[in-house]
Chains A and B, each alone.
Chain A
Amino acid sequence: MTLRDILNKLLRRQESSANTARERLQLVLAHDRADLSPDLLDQMRKEILEVVAKYVEIDIEEGAVSLETEDRMTALVANLPIKRLPSGAIKVKEHGESSDN
């Protein structure tokens, strides 16, 4: 965050175009490098969510799987919010419990 960024926020001006360029490039390059079609990525996202949902209760709506890239290494990053019990404990499913719903 720079002085200019703060000034832009205060004046509700647009984000600087260099920042936008950087963010757009990082995203597009992660996809270019992985060479995965959006369909395949989406399929993978669904299956990963299903597997994880077998073990812990997750918020399917909030779950996101994305590609990120740094130093020419591409990582598959899954962000899967786990539902908690009122006690704060994680909701672990019994093995064999059906995974639908």
Chain B
Amino acid sequence: MSTNTRIILICSGKGGVGKTTLTANLGIALARTGVRTAVLDADFGLRNLDLLLGLENRIVYTAQEVLEESCRLDQALVKHKQEPNLALLPAGNPRMLEWLKPDDMQRIVSMLSDQFDYVLIDCPAGVEDGFKNAVSASKEAIVVTNPEVSAVRDADRVIGLLNTNGINPVQLVLNRVRPKMIASQEMLSVDDVTDILALPLLGLVLEDEQVIVSTNRGVPLTLSGINSPAARCYSNIASRLQGEEVPLIDPAKEGSGMRDKFRRLMQTKIF
């Protein structure tokens, strides 16, 4: 097993905060820089990563058949046509809920490590078996959360579990940030969330309608070349993950109309 492969778990605790969207966009963005990237859908009970990548019609086998030796790994890997450095592997299909064990997960990830530089694991929501299996095969983690109390609370619980399992580093992605709401102090700010969770911030992703448009099409934003706010955020995250220093987008500086300027004035700390 290659020791240089970055095996990164993408998890959140709470469901629906944007793990799969991040996995798809980050996977494409990494692959585009030339690194061999595998995305593993560990959420096989409700698998969706294939759909976001536009690969739903090309899945034949899953990791289960590979482990049973009824097919080879390269037969189960679905290579992305537009971005050949990216391959998808579904851990299983929805019929085999009970099948996967931590040991299976470790074996499959170790096989992927021989062929890829990055393995991104799209984790199921919750902190039960699906999460535990995925953790057992990971080295580092990205915790995705939204600036909302329930998502932050669940993220905190997950961070505790990652720490006890020796996952390191653990970094934060704050998704669905709405600058206007932060400016009017009706949404937790980026600093609020990083202070509360005490995690290094890998990046923030702005709320962006283009995310939905791109999922409709099955073409991730980082592949379509659309220069939307979220697309820029995802590319920045990919660069930072590879050690580049990219300044954070400042949500307070998004928007330049009179109203935005007034909001900013109202937000200035005076004491």
| Interface of A toward B, CB cutoff 8 Å | 1-4, 6-7, 16-19, 21-22, 24-26, 28-29, 32-33, 70-72
Contact = CB atoms under 8 A, between A and B. Distances in A.
B186 A24 contact: no
Contacts of A25: 149, 152-153, 188, 196
Nearest to B266: A4
A33 B156 CA distance: 8
Nearest to A71: B198
B268 A29 contact: no
Contact of A28 (B148, B153, B184, B267): B153
B108 interface: no
Contacts, number: 62
B51 to A, nearest CB: 32
A16 B187 CA distance: 9
B208 interface: no
B185 interface: yes
B217 interface: no
B257 interface: no
A3 B270 contact: yes
Contacts of A3: 265-268, 270
13 contacts: A3-B267, A4-B185, A6-B270, A17-B185, A18-B192, A21-B149, A25-B152, A25-B153, A28-B153, A29-B196, A32-B153, A32-B157, A33-B156
Contacts of A4: 184-185, 266-267
Contact of A2 (B157, B185, B188): B185
Given A19-B185, A33-B160, A7 B266 contact: yes
Interface residues of B, number: 26
B270 A2 contact: yes
A16 B185 contact: yes
Interface string B20-58: 000000000000000000000000000000000000000
A19 B182 CA distance: 11
A22 B185 contact: no
Nearest to B192: A22
Q: Which of A4, A26, A28, A71 has the most CB of B within 10 A?
A: A4
A-B pairs with the 5 shortest C-beta distances?
A: A16-B185, A4-B266, A72-B198, A18-B185, A71-B198
Contacts of B267: 2-4
Given A18-B189, A71-B198, 14 more contacts: A1-B270, A2-B269, A3-B265, A3-B266, A4-B266, A6-B270, A16-B184, A16-B185, A18-B192, A24-B149, A25-B149, A25-B188, A25-B196, A72-B197
B232 to A, nearest CB: 24
B271 interface: yes
Contacts of A24: 149
Interface string B188-208: 110010001110000000000
